[in-house]
Amino acid sequence: MPDAAASPLQNDAPAVPKAELIAALQQGMPAHALLWHEEDTTPYECDGLTAYRQRPLCVALPETEEQVQHVLRTCHRLRVPVVARGAGTGLSGGALPHRHGVTLSLARFNRILQVDPHSRTALVQAGVRNLAISEAAAPYGLYYAPDPSSQIACTIGGNVSENAGGVHCLKYGLTVHNVLRVRGYTIEGEPITLGSEALDAPGYDLLSLAIGSEGMLAVVMDVTVKLIPKPQLARCIMASFADVRQAGEAVANVIAAGIIPAGLEMMDKPMTAAVEDFVHAGYDLDAAAILLCESDGTPEEVEEEIGRMSEVLRAAGATAITVSQDEAERLRFWSGRKNAFPASGRISPDYMCMDSTIPRKRLADILLAIGEMEHKYGLRCCNVFHAGDGNLHPLILFDANDPDQLHRAELFGADIMETSVAMGGTVTGEHGVGVEKLNSMCVQFSPEENAQMFAVKHAFDPHGLLNPGKVIPTLQRCAEYGRMLVRGGRLPFPELERF
Amino acid sequence: MPDAAASPLQNDAPAVPKAELIAALQQGMPAHALLWHEEDTTPYECDGLTAYRQRPLCVALPETEEQVQHVLRTCHRLRVPVVARGAGTGLSGGALPHRHGVTLSLARFNRILQVDPHSRTALVQAGVRNLAISEAAAPYGLYYAPDPSSQIACTIGGNVSENAGGVHCLKYGLTVHNVLRVRGYTIEGEPITLGSEALDAPGYDLLSLAIGSEGMLAVVMDVTVKLIPKPQLARCIMASFADVRQAGEAVANVIAAGIIPAGLEMMDKPMTAAVEDFVHAGYDLDAAAILLCESDGTPEEVEEEIGRMSEVLRAAGATAITVSQDEAERLRFWSGRKNAFPASGRISPDYMCMDSTIPRKRLADILLAIGEMEHKYGLRCCNVFHAGDGNLHPLILFDANDPDQLHRAELFGADIMETSVAMGGTVTGEHGVGVEKLNSMCVQFSPEENAQMFAVKHAFDPHGLLNPGKVIPTLQRCAEYGRMLVRGGRLPFPELERF
């Protein structure tokens, strides 16, 4: 097994002086494609996880693939870390710069190269926005299914790196289920193609391995995605429940009845109250929890499925059921869900968004456990989540200016993650590990399992230069994390500045 | 990169004398669980690919997980190759024994540990037969979707190793889409769990990596599979076409119309003639090609979809369309398809079954190319395949007793694979690489890409002991293959005895 401690994030000294690196990079790209002054690199200091910030040594904005290869070859030769970056909307710090590294922005690779309605695929460059793919496919009645909340801004390259999901992934799958092929470069600047346009590929499934690898195995240049037909009709049920346990059980019952809704989301009372004030979605504010349960397909399919879903929800104890009567009402139902995160920002100075998963049948249990944690840590928590997937997004509300509240919020978050794992779940469903959940990987996996991941990383990137220090914790970190928990749960990242 | 030449298959000397190995294995398992006399190991000398045979040094039939660990630890310590084996129904020689190795049979791990109708999953041991899972789930109205033709006999452990498909995988996915978790052991005998019962898992997607890895990364002990509801109704269209190009285009048009049939299979005239004699499926023997196109779901969905499919097929030039009127007729339509391989055995002394894939839109092109190859090589070829997936199963008919026919059949097969790759496809869709398609991997992948696969293998199994010599060709083999093609295309496996 390669030595985990070889990760450059552990190494406090830069591999080469900044001037030498800049000079080497300038030999293969125009001056305007390199940023290294503090005022120019500051906009790149964090991604959607704003709690951690760090400026890179420099930012490269290549315009051609030759320039991408030049950056990679130069960094490989000089042993300089490389962090690829799309739109920077990630929520776990996956695109957080390395203080001694190059941030490789793929923003300029933003062309849709082909939309093929016959084979129902599109070939797009890494920097193309998620929603732009569906817009380009719309004239053919097609769309790209995975729809993270950030889909207006986030790029397909980032989606591939994080294996992004969205409210429709219960029925239509995550990024890994909707991508056929990825083309890119290794850290050596060598071309690599993973997957194919045809069914399956021989040998190991390196495509699935690369999807969700958070930029640690290769740099993505373009992606062949599947397109699917836009459903003729979609209707959404809003169902009210008098207690969260019943709502959790209703979710499990819908799935157990053999129905795969196009979306199955849950919000608890604190969440609907915060959201309703903000977007006036028409939610039932008396309910302890509401479910949004969508059906799409032909009008016949939708009618039949809405009927069956309503039956299951009523049998599970729904106190009210409202079915969207037109597209405007359906979009209004969803507007509340899609604005849940910003709505939380209105009721609390800060919030911490968790992303753990649990087997669907444990939904009611985890909700009750989170309720008890609110008392234990003396902090409020709103719950909004992809219920059908068992993917929780508890939003822990706190004031970061109060160090004690921050401390309790961190303990609360760690408790949710550990409880999720104990219930057979995982520490992250769709936001990735990045830097935020590095410690939680010590909870999720044994030292041997984390070492196995390091070995896979090593097979692609022997010097550990691609996005080092992310995703896989070192043995030393896990040991320290264990000691910290014993001491009372402070979760510092000594190598990062905390904001 | 690890040295490919380190593969034990290249090494002609056993790591330890047979007696020493047997003695070491006997220390951790009962005498009756070890076979090493020639008459006892001969039944294990090949799998479904009978052209290559080799007896192992010994066969281990452990009855407990401790015994599995003992076998692995012993072999790891003594540097002896291990080839895991399920039912031995594989078609590419993935379970072909290693002459200096241990064949590790998992036949005795044949218990269904749990069927959970609520979460719609089953936990089964590696040696459980594919069909037995659906039988156990049937009382709950559920079944396990992937249905390889060998499903009566093949095991879930083998399905995981080969990423098995089947006629329904167009709609319901391959094994990789229907497995949530795999538990097993590394070559060191260390426990390893890949995937989880919850959505996604953090870190690299090692579950997908292991599925289809042909026993080269770990030994599978048990598998958590998804179960899905049995459709209320299924009906099948048999459509006739006057030429194969039209039939190929009809397949592409069905998919382009946004329909995902429950099965979409194609047979050409030589194939239907052979089959009809054998099973009397009621096929149109005048048609140049027939399509079987199935719809399943609620009665309303099926009616609507059968209507739309019929329209597309008619517009594509179908000369006749017959829809199954009851379950008996539907099963009769499929009986011909499912018996295509044995039917070929009745019209030719030998046949070679190919498994290449092409992008769906190239279906007509590859069929025409195969037609030309029949003239070029002077051999007949029947075509039967998963048309919806673009997964071909051309059956090249020949007489193995005629060395020249065998030679031409091998050239014919290599030509099909190379043409498929040139059309954007792959050398294998669902049968795996094993030993049969080792040379074709040189066509599919660059030396760098094959080296990358070796590096991944090395990350799990640094000494190359798990199923060595399979799947990934050495640089030396690819170089020799290139030279052989120039010399006239003989494709020998010098290290194997050819039958």
Tell me which chain B residue has its CA closest to the CA of residue A254: B118
Highest mean pLDDT among B5-14, B186-195, B337-346, B483-492: B186-195
The DSSP letter of residue A126 is T
pLDDT band of residue B498 (cuts 50, 70, 90) is: very low
CB contact under 8 A, A200 and B211: no
Mean pLDDT of all residues in B429-455: 89
Interface residue of A3, A160, A199, A453 to substitute, partner B, most B CBs within 10 Å: A199
User: Which two tokens mark B374?
Assistant: 């029949």
pLDDT tens digits, A73-97: 999 999 999 999 999 999 899 999 9
Domain boundaries, given as residue ranges, for chain A: 4-105, 112-229, 233-275+286-342, 343-498
Which chain B residues have a beta carbon less than 8 Å from that of A455?
Answer: 459-460
Closest residue to B459, CB basis, from A255, A445, A459: A459
- Tell me what pLDDT residue A324 has: 96
Averaged pLDDT of chain A: 89
Percentage of chain B surpassing pLDDT 90? Answer: 67
Q: In this model, does residue A11 exceed pLDDT 90?
A: no
> What distance in Å separates the CA atoms of residue A386 and residue A123, rounded to the nearest whole number?
29
CB contact under 8 A, A203 and B453: yes
Q: How close, in Å, is residue B69 to chain A by CA atoms?
A: 16
CB contact under 8 A, B206 and A456: yes
Q: In this model, does residue B197 exceed pLDDT 90?
A: no
Residue A23 CB contacts under 8 Å (≥ 6 apart), including other chains: none
Which chain A residues have a beta carbon less than 8 Å from that of B117?
Answer: 256
Tell me which chain B residue has its CA closest to the CA of residue A437: B202
Q: In this model, does residue A498 exceed pLDDT 50?
A: no
In one-letter notation, the amino acid at residue B338 is: K
- Tell me what pLDDT residue A494 has: 42
Tell me which chain A residue has its CA closest to the CA of residue B258: A229
pLDDT band of residue A9 (cuts 50, 70, 90) is: very low
- Tell me what pLDDT residue B289 has: 94
Which chain B residues have a beta carbon less than 8 Å from that of A429?
Answer: 198-200
- Tell me what pLDDT residue A471 has: 92
CB contact under 8 A, A209 and B211: no
- Tell me what pLDDT residue A499 has: 36
pLDDT band of residue A389 (cuts 50, 70, 90) is: confident
- Tell me what pLDDT residue A492 has: 40
| Domain A233-275+286-342 belongs in CATH node 3.30.70.2190 | yes
Question: Does the structure's ipTM exceed the value 0.85?
Answer: no
Q: Which of B131-140, B164-173, B238-247 has the lowest mean pLDDT?
A: B164-173
pLDDT band of residue A483 (cuts 50, 70, 90) is: low
Q: Looking at the domain that runs over B233-342, which CATH code has it been given?
A: 3.30.70.3450
Closest residue to A425, CB basis, from B198, B386, B426: B198
CB contact under 8 A, A359 and B176: no
pLDDT band of residue B400 (cuts 50, 70, 90) is: confident
Q: Which of A49-53, A227-231, B15-19, B124-128 has the lowest mean pLDDT?
A: A49-53
Interface residue of A452, A458, A478 to substitute, partner B, most B CBs within 10 Å: A452
CB contact under 8 A, B200 and A212: yes
Which chain B residues have a beta carbon less than 8 Å from that of A453?
Answer: 203-204, 206
Q: How close, in Å, is residue B42 to chain A by CA atoms?
A: 29
pLDDT band of residue A235 (cuts 50, 70, 90) is: very high
| Domain B346-498 belongs in CATH node 3.40.50.300 | no
pLDDT tens digits, A118-137: 889 999 999 999 999 999 99
- Tell me what pLDDT residue B1 has: 32
Nearest to B458 by CA among B450, B130, A414, A186: B450
Averaged pLDDT of chain B: 89
The DSSP letter of residue A386 is E
- Tell me what pLDDT residue A484 has: 58
Q: Looking at the domain that runs over A343-498, which CATH code has it been given?
A: 3.30.70.2740
Q: Which of these CATH numbers, 3.30.830.10, 3.40.640.10, 3.30.565.10, 3.30.465.10, describes B112-229?
A: 3.30.465.10
pLDDT tens digits, B6-42: 333 435 678 899 999 999 999 999 999 999 999 999 9
Q: Which of B312-316, B373-377, B382-386 has the lowest mean pLDDT?
A: B382-386
Mean pLDDT of all residues in B105-125: 95
Rounded to whole angstroms, what are the CA distances from A407 to A171, A414, B233? 38, 11, 57
Q: In this model, does residue A15 exceed pLDDT 90?
A: no
CB contact under 8 A, A229 and B258: yes
Highest mean pLDDT among A31-35, A358-362, B252-256: A31-35
pLDDT band of residue B388 (cuts 50, 70, 90) is: confident
Can you say whether residue B334 is alpha, beta or left, with left for phi > 0 and alpha for psi between -120 and 50 degrees? alpha
Q: In this model, does residue B491 exceed pLDDT 60?
A: no
CB contact under 8 A, A304 and B304: no
Q: How close, in Å, is residue A317 to chain B by CA atoms?
A: 18
Nearest to B235 by CA among B326, B169, B143: B326
CB contact under 8 A, B448 and A190: yes
> What distance in Å separates the CA atoms of residue A258 and residue A317, rounded to the nearest whole number?
19
CB contact under 8 A, B458 and A459: yes
pLDDT tens digits, B407-440: 999 899 999 999 999 999 999 988 899 998 888 8
Tell me which chain A residue has its CA closest to the CA of residue B460: A452
Highest mean pLDDT among A406-410, B39-43, B66-70: B66-70
- Tell me what pLDDT residue A398 has: 92
Mean pLDDT of all residues in A376-385: 93
- Tell me what pLDDT residue B12 has: 66
CB contact under 8 A, A199 and B426: yes
Question: Domain A4-105: which topology?
Answer: 3.30.43
> What distance in Å separates the CA atoms of residue B441 and residue B450, rounded to the nearest whole number?
8
**How many CB pairs lie under 8 A apart between chains A and B?**
222
CB contact under 8 A, A471 and B203: yes
Neighbours of A6 (CB within 10 A): 15
Which chain A residues have a beta carbon less than 8 Å from that of B164?
Answer: none
Q: How close, in Å, is residue A428 to chain B by CA atoms?
A: 6
CB contact under 8 A, A205 and B203: no
Which chain B residues have a beta carbon less than 8 Å from that of A391?
Answer: 199-200
Q: List strands edge to edge, sheet with A350-353.
A: A320-323, A233-241, A289-297, A263-268, A381-386, A391-398, A350-353
Give the 3-state DSSP-derived string for chain B, with helices as H, strands as E and coil as C.
CCCHHHCHHHCCCCCCCHHHHHHHHHCCCCHHHEECCHHHHHHHCCCCCCCEECCCCEEECCCCHHHHHHHHHHHHHHCCCEEEECCCCCCCCCCCCCCCCEEEECCCCCCEEEEECCCCEEEEECCCEHHHHHHHHHHHCEECCCCCCCCCCCEHHHHHHHCCCCCCHHHHCCHHHCEEEEEEECCCCCEEEEECCCCCCCCCCHHHHHCCCCCCCCEEEEEEEECEECCCEEEEEEEEECCHHHHHHHHHHHHHCCCCCCEEEEEEHHHHHHHHHHHCCCCCCCCCEEEEEEEEECHHHHHHHHHHHHHHHHHCCCCEEEECCCHHHHHHHHHHHHCHHHHHHHHCCEEEECCCECCHHHHHHHHHHHHHHHHHHCCCEEEEEEHHHCEEEEEEEECCCCHHHHHHHHHHHHHHHHHHHHCCCECCCCCCCCCCCCCHHHHHCCHHHHHHHHHHHHHHCCCCCECCCCCCCCHHHHHHHHHHHHHCCCCCCCCCEEC
Buried residues in A267-293 as b, exposed as e (16+ CB within 10 A): bbbbbbbbbbebbebebbeebbbbbbb
> What distance in Å separates the CA atoms of residue A199 and residue B357, rounded to the nearest whole number?
6
Q: Which of A102-106, A417-421, B428-432 has the lowest mean pLDDT?
A: B428-432
Closest residue to B426, CB basis, from A198, A208, A255: A198
Q: At A333, phi and psi to the nearest 5?
A: -55, -45
Q: In this model, does residue A10 exceed pLDDT 50?
A: no
pLDDT tens digits, B216-271: 999 999 999 999 999 999 999 999 999 988 998 999 899 888 888 999 999 999 99
Closest residue to B199, CB basis, from A190, A202, A391: A391
pLDDT tens digits, A462-474: 999 999 999 999 8
Percentage of chain B surpassing pLDDT 70? Answer: 94
Mean pLDDT of all residues in A39-63: 91
- Tell me what pLDDT residue A430 has: 86
Highest mean pLDDT among A295-299, A437-441, B118-122, B309-313: B309-313
Q: Which of B37-51, B190-204, B231-245 has the lowest mean pLDDT?
A: B190-204
Domains B233-342 and B346-498 share a fold: yes
CB contact under 8 A, B206 and A209: yes
User: Which two tokens mark B336?
Assistant: 């011909």
Interface residue of A197, A233, A356, A393 to substitute, partner B, most B CBs within 10 Å: A197
CB contact under 8 A, A228 and B258: yes
User: Which two tokens mark B399?
Assistant: 């007489």
Higher pLDDT, B21 or A336: B21
CB contact under 8 A, A199 and B391: yes
Q: How close, in Å, is residue A401 to chain B by CA atoms?
A: 31
CB contact under 8 A, B211 and A228: no
Q: In this model, does residue A241 exceed pLDDT 90?
A: yes
- Tell me what pLDDT residue B144 has: 97
